């Protein structure tokens, strides 16, 4: 006789494989944050090399002060949805500022990045519509597409020919099709050929949604992301992003050239039935957005660090992604080596992200690093040295 809980036996086996050693890679506890790039884990000072804190703004004084001011003046939470009592002046101000930042007419703020993808996709799509989804797209994109009831077709990762072949096969349905991709992919650190995707969508009359969660603040002269760097901001129908990476807080957003976005406030269930973001979170996000716009040197420093890490790891002969980016995924021979190396890196005072199947994009096992503008050159050297000790001179 089967029971409701039987499905968890496979999960228990997976957990057992991960938790054989002292620290569970999926449940690391940071006992104390020292700075944007350093914490204390298991009593040890640890360089944080897997945080997505790309611009290092989590301790930025102006952001902290803005959050404290909002806490004191607007309270700890909104206790309601944007559609009800949780729609403060600051939420609307952030939406205006995001629209102005992208030079697009419409913006919508969500309580999480995951919620932004769910909210937009479920509002935009319905049964009978089609989605062409990059094979490596984030779980939130897949979940949103699946929840919508639209027909989902996957195409080869970052492959315009694979995309076009499927769009062509859809025939008349192409004009009811949403192409869903990311800008910078968060595991390997590779970028999408957005110009080619935009050209294809234009030719077939389809629509394009780009998740720039890991690209915001990193690419483009103004930090608007890969859409800016590749010159397709106005061709993207929907740009989705998060506040929980470069902007150092939590939350998500969508900006668009289409008036239709403003109607989604009435139809997007993940938007309507979620409490709005805390005022302090909105305040730190607004402050961080301003810092990101004003201090372009942060982006310069981030890229300097990214080049240093990428060159260092490549110099060790390690298998990294195809291009330099603030995300560097180091491929391991197998899951066992990855888990072992992850533990040894942590013991050496370097925290990375362990990525193993099914979370990895191509079934491989990786150690993922993300650089921050706040990393010092000495910290980057220490990360490289730790990789050398663990994976090279092993």
Q: Which residues bind other proteins (CB under 8 A)?
A: 130, 135, 146, 151-156, 162, 165-166, 169-170, 357-358, 360-363
Give the C-alpha distances (Å, rounded to integers) separating 122 from 34, 148, 176, 271.
Answer: 40, 4, 14, 10
Sheet (strand 252-256) strand order: 106-110, 252-256, 238-242, 207-211, 177-182, 130-134, 151-155
Least distance (Å) between residue 242 CB and other proteins: 25
Cα–Cα dist 63/57, whole Å: 8
Least distance (Å) between residue 352 CB and other proteins: 22
Least distance (Å) between residue 125 CB and other proteins: 13
User: Measured from the CB atom, is 137 or 192 closer to other proteins?
Assistant: 137
For residue 154, what is the enclosing H or E element?
strand 151-155
For residue 91, what is the enclosing H or E element?
helix 89-102
Place of tokens 């706040």: 374
User: Measured from the CB atom, is 59 or 153 closer to other proteins?
Assistant: 153
What is the crossing angle of helices 335-347 and 9-18, to 10°? 50
User: Measured from the CB atom, is 150 or 287 closer to other proteins?
Assistant: 150
Nearest to 138 by CA among 24, 200, 215: 215
Least distance (Å) between residue 297 CB and other proteins: 40
Least distance (Å) between residue 256 CB and other proteins: 26
User: Measured from the CB atom, is 114 or 155 closer to other proteins?
Assistant: 155
User: Measured from the CB atom, is 43 or 358 closer to other proteins?
Assistant: 358
User: Measured from the CB atom, is 49 or 150 closer to other proteins?
Assistant: 150
How, if at all, do strands 238-242 and 353-355 pair? unpaired
Least distance (Å) between residue 271 CB and other proteins: 25
Neighbours of 359 (CB within 10 A): 13
């Amino acid at each position: 006789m089967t029971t409701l809980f039987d499905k968890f036996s496979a999960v228990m086996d997976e957990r057992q494989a991960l938790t054989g050693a002292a620290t569970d890679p999926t449940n690391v506890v940071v006992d104390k944050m020292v700075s944007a790039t350093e914490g204390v884990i298991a009593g040890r000072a640890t360089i944080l090399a897997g945080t997505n804190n790309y611009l290092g703004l989590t301790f930025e004084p102006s952001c902290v002060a803005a959050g404290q001011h909002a806490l004191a003046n607007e309270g700890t939470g909104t206790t309601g949805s944007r559609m009800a009592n949780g729609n403060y002046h600051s939420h609307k101000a952030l939406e205006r500022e995001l629209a102005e930042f992208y030079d697009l007419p419409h913006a919508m703020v969500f309580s999480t990045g995951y919620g932004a993808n769910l909210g937009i996709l479920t509002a935009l799509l319905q049964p009978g519509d089609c989605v062409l989804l990059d094979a490596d797209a984030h779980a939130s994109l897949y979940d949103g597409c699946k929840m919508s009831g639209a027909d989902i077709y996957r195409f080869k990762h970052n492959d315009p020919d694979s995309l076009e072949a499927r769009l062509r096969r859809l025939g008349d349905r192409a004009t009811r099709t949403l192409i869903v991709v990311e800008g910078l992919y968060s595991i390997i650190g590779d970028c999408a050929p957005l110009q080619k995707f935009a050209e294809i969508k234009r030719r077939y009359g389809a629509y394009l949604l780009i998740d720039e969660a890991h690209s915001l603040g990193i690419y483009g002269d103004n930090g608007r992301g890969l859409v800016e760097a590749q010159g397709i901001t106005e061709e993207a129908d929907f740009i989705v992003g998060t506040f929980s990476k470069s902007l150092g807080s939590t939350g998500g957003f969508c900006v668009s050239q289409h008036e239709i976005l403003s109607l989604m406030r009435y139809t997007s269930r993940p938007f309507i039935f979620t409490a709005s973001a805390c005022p302090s979170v909105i305040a730190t996000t607004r402050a961080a957005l301003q810092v990101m716009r004003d201090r372009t040197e942060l982006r310069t420093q981030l890229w300097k660090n990214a080049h240093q890490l990428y060159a260092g790891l490549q110099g060790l002969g390690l298998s990294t992604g195809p291009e330099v980016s603030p995300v560097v995924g180091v491929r391991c021979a197998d899951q066992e080596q990855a888990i072992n190396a992850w533990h040894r890196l942590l013991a050496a005072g370097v925290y990375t992200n362990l990525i193993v199947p099914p979370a990895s994009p191509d079934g491989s096992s990786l150690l993922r690093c993300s650089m921050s503008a706040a990393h010092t050159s000495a910290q980057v050297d220490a990360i490289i040295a730790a990789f050398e000790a663990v994976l090279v001179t092993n």
